[in-house]
Structure 1
Amino acid sequence: MITSVGEVLIDMIAAEEGNLKDVKRFEKHPGGAPANVAVGVSRLGVKASLISKVGNDPFGKFLLERLRSEGVNTEGVAVDMEKHTGVVFVQLKGAKPSFVLYDGVAYFNLRKEDINLSILENSKIVHFGSVLLARSPSKETILWIMKELRDRVAISFDVNIRRDLWKNREEDMFKVIEEAIRFTDILKVSDEELKLLEEKGIKTEGRLLTAITLGKEGCILRTWEHEVKIPGYPVKPIDTTGAGDAFTAALLVGLIAFREYFTESTLMKIGRFANLVAGLSTTKRGAWSIPKREELMKYSEAREIFTKL
């Protein structure tokens, strides 16, 4: 089982291109990077669970229903009786999204007492996003979980820098991200984020695996012994929201398929699969656009992975 820890929320995606102040119509979609990963893992045929928090409101109930319909275990999703479910407004320009997030929502109120450690301890990989590190008490809760699981479960972390959440606190952001990286076995970072980390002197080497995403150019997978560059899968994107999460879901499934047996050949197979899944996810709207296992069986890149699971 792969467990994701972090936000699940409502993406209000602009139904037309342009600035948010000019947009008149929005489409409601489920989202949140860790939730996107959990749904992706489930669609790829591996058991998935989510640790998060929603409000006791219609949006929270909607998200729980959708997660369960996707086969994601929601026993670890707490319900906040005071704070509302998170809502994010998404602006699309040329299929590339930008976001407006809000404070004071349920997932930022994730506390130690909300955490079901048995779910985490029974997972092969526990995946974290970075959004909850931007606020308390969720920051302390995430770092506590990472410390509890260190050397017991493989920890995956997506750097996913969101500067708008750290206004006037960028130095704090890098300090917290550096602390999270110290607990990380599987690091996912974009080429732009990697450059920022290196400029701050934050070390990313020494992981079980580091995945560097290059957008449409593909990715680089790096271990202690090997480094391979895998070209992207060519598509005509409609909406790239959640593409990085689709990549992460496929990457983690690929890692389970090869069970830490990483040669240049197996890394190429894992990377081709992750690029395929990420690319195909951009051909539909919304963050939960990752194709299902049965849809992927026609691709050799996918069959190479599924035969190993």
Structure 2
Amino acid sequence: MTGRLVHTGQAVVDLVMRVEALPPPGGDVLASDVRFTAGGGFTVLAAAARAGAEVVYAGEHGTGRFGDLVRDALAAEGVELVQPPVTPDTGVCVVLVDAAGERTFITETGAEGTLTAEHLHRVRLRAGDLVYVTGYSLVREANRDALLEWLPSAAGHRVLLDPGPLAADVSAGVWRAVLPHVDILTCNAAEAAVLSTVDGVGGVPVRITRVGAAGCDVVARGTTVRVPGFPVEPVDTNGAGDAHAGVLAAELLRGAPVLVAAGRANAAAAIAVQRYGPATAPSRAEVDELLAATRR
């Protein structure tokens, strides 16, 4: 490894409920499975750690049972914490997963939404570190202002941006302020469509668009390459994009070329969607096994 993954986003608690279909307005459905688990940014952190990266969580975590749950989960993955616990408790995301494996989110923000630039300056970046930025940080004013103030101090380090499903809720002006600091953009097709109208997105050196089972498109040095995926029958797509982003980051930290890193990220996502739960990223050995099997 040439450095660490430094995650500036938000680890929360997911309340995951499996349902046959979403209820109609005013309706009700019965869940077949319900569980509390660490989620949000945790899924990226766990994916990178399981892929062998040294991982640092620079975001906030709360005082209370949800904060305790997140801290225990981070410790189990070997993730280093930068910040001490703060009030209030860590926030919760309600995740509804339907019979097709598609997921819908409702998020309540807690301590992770109280980040300041002063807190981010506690991060001591090292040579080779890769900084992870999520679009969720740009939706809430406090986190957005903290990140915009701190990002220039990360100059000289690679920055990976994952805009996330709330990309459309971020103003074009904020995207224009962030994009000049970004070296790698990774997102799904819907998020790519949102950003395609923002001036400056074409100046990001590496742009990766996930296209589901088909894999991902990598744009670098003016050339677009389709890195094929691994068609599988999904049971839960929750966390698949995060598994992709975390493994992509870990492989880049190993010094892998971007197309190789993207291929391994595709494999990780294919494994993740065959498992229930948000933090289902595989180990590096499991990715090796899938790649070896496809070469036979």
Q: What TM-score, normalized by structure 1, do the two folds share? A: 0.85
> 162, 169, 172: which is aligned to 2:166?
162
* Partner of residue 190, structure 2: 192
Aligned partner of 2:288 in structure 1 is 297
Aligned with residue 132 of structure 1, among 134, 137, 152: 137
SS at 2:10's partner residue?
Answer: coil
Tell me the CA shift for residue 101 of structure 1.
Answer: 0.9
Give CA deviations for 1:12-61 in whole Å, capped at 9, x if unaligned. Answer: 111333326434562111111x3221111110111111111121101101
C-alpha distance 250-54 of structure 1, shift in aligned 2 (>3 A): same
Structure 2: distance between partners of 1:148 and 1:125 = 13
Unaligned runs of 5+ in 2: none
Give the direction of change, closer, same or farther, for the CA distance of 1:280–1:62 in structure 2 (3 Å limit): same
- Whether the 8 Å CA contact 1:92–1:98 is kept in 2: the answer is yes
Q: Secondary structure at the match of 2:90?
A: coil
Q: CA 1:197/1:294 → structure 2, altered by over 3 Å: closer, same or farther? A: closer
1:217 corresponds in structure 2 to 214
**1:289 positional shift:** 0.5
Q: CA distance change for structure 1 residues 268 and 196 in 2, over 3 Å: closer, same or farther?
A: same
Q: Which whole-Å CA distance do the structure 2 matches of 1:130 and 1:301 have between them?
A: 34
C-alpha deviation, 1:146, in angstroms = 1.4
1:143 pairs, out of 126, 148, 153, with 148
Q: AA paired with 1:140?
A: D
Q: Which residue of 1 aligns with 2:35?
A: 27
Runs of 4 or more above 6 Å deviation = none
| Contact 2:121/2:150 (8 A) holds in 1 | no
Structure 1 equivalent of residue 93 of structure 2 = 88
Residue identity matched to 2:176: E
Q: Is the 8 A contact 2:65 2:89 kept in 1?
A: no
Q: Which moved more, 1:223-232 or 1:84-93?
A: 223-232
CA RMSD of aligned residues (A): 2.4
Equivalent position amino acid for 2:113 in 1? F
- Number of residue pairs the alignment of both structures matches: 286
Deviation at 1:67, TM superposition (A): 0.5
Q: 2:7 maps to which residue?
A: 4
Residue 220 of structure 1: SS of its match in structure 2?
strand
Q: Distance in 2 between matches of 1:148 and 1:47?
A: 21
Check the 8 A contact 1:88/1:102 in 2, yes or no: yes
In structure 2, C-alpha distance between the alignment counterparts of 1:26 and 1:182, rounded to whole Å: 41
Give the fraction of aligned pairs with identical amino acids, expressed as a percent.
22
Map 1:281-296 to 2 at 5 A.
Answer: 281-296=272-287
| SS in structure 2 of the partner of residue 29 of structure 1 | strand
1:60 and 2:67 matched: yes
Structure 2 equivalent of residue 14 of structure 1: 17
Letter in 1 for 2:37: H
> Any idea what SS the aligned residue of 2:85 has?
strand
Q: Hey, what does 1:244 align to over in structure 2?
A: 241
Residue correspondence of structure 1 range 108-127 to structure 2 within 5 A: 108-121=113-126, 124-127=129-132
Partner residue of 2:52? 45
Give the C-alpha shift of residue 225 in structure 1. Answer: 4.8
RCO comparison, higher one (Cα < 8 Å, 6+): 2
Equivalent residue of 1:113, what SS? helix
Q: Which amino acid aligns with 2:35?
A: E
Q: What is the match of residue 269 of structure 2?
A: 278
Asked if the contact 1:125–1:153 (Cα under 8 Å) also holds between the matched residues in 2, the reply is: yes
Quote the residue 1:263 is aligned against.
none
- Provide the residue aligned with 1:99 in structure 2: 105
Shift of residue 256 of structure 1? 2.5
2:123 and 2:62 map into 1 onto residues whose CA distance is 23
Q: Which amino acid aligns with 2:278?
A: A
